[in-house]
């Protein structure tokens, strides 16, 4: 319990939210990005007779997010290194640009997207929204801190 308490010490809410978004993105990569064989659409046909046509839109077989986002490995390693090192995450540069950079990295890690009926795609979208919230929290929280007295 002491290690967990030590982990949360001196971390801003924005940084903890960005860490949680990165963990959620990591977990989302283990889910299938396409979980059914095909799609269907309504085709009225000639004389407006109704018919449903089933088409297979997946050019690839069923796979997890790791196969769809092969570049996510490196992005998650970079995010973990930047967010878990106090000397990097507490720097003035990271406070100004790092959260927006992390948001861009999470966006790149979720591209190309998958259909939202897949659980991993939904989790990736939630991670992206969490990263956006963390960047906005950092931006507005940073401006409210008064400059140090000289």
The tens digit of pLDDT for each residue in 52-105 reads 544 444 455 567 888 888 888 999 999 999 998 888 888 888 888 999 999 999
The H-or-E segment that residue 40 falls in is strand 39-43
**Long-range Cβ contact pairs of 93-96 (< 8 A, separation 24 or more):** 95/138, 95/142, 96/142
Rounded distance, CA 117 to CA 126, Å? 14
How large a percentage of the chain has pLDDT more than 90? 30
**pLDDT at site 40:** 47
Rounded distance, CA 88 to CA 83, Å? 7
Q: Note the pTM of the prediction, 2 decimals.
A: 0.73
Q: Residue ranges of the domains in the chain?
A: 2-143
**pLDDT at site 88:** 87
Distances (CA, A) of 9 to 3, 13, 46, 86, 128: 10, 11, 68, 11, 25
Segment 38-53 shows an average pLDDT of 53
Half-sphere exposure (CA, 13 Å, Cβ side) for 42? 4
For residue 97, say if its preceding peptide bond is cis, omega within 30 degrees of 0.
Answer: no
From 17-21, 22-26, 69-73, the region with the lowest mean pLDDT: 69-73
């Amino acid at each position: 319990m002491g290690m967990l308490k030590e982990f949360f010490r001196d971390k801003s809410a924005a940084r903890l939210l960005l860490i949680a978004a990165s963990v959620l993105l990591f977990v989302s990569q283990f889910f299938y990005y396409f979980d059914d064989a095909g799609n269907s659409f309504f085709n009225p046909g000639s004389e407006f007779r109704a018919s449903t046509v089933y088409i297979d839109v997946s050019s690839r077989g069923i796979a997890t997010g790791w196969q769809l986002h092969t570049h996510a490995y490196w992005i998650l390693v970079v995010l973990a290194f930047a967010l878990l090192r106090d000397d990097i995450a507490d720097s003035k540069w990271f406070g100004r640009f790092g959260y927006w950079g992390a948001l861009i990295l999470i966006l790149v890690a979720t591209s190309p997207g998958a259909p939202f009926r897949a659980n991993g795609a939904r989790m990736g979208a939630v991670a992206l929204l969490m990263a956006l919230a963390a960047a906005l929290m950092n931006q507005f929280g940073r401006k409210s801190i008064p400059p140090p007295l000289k």
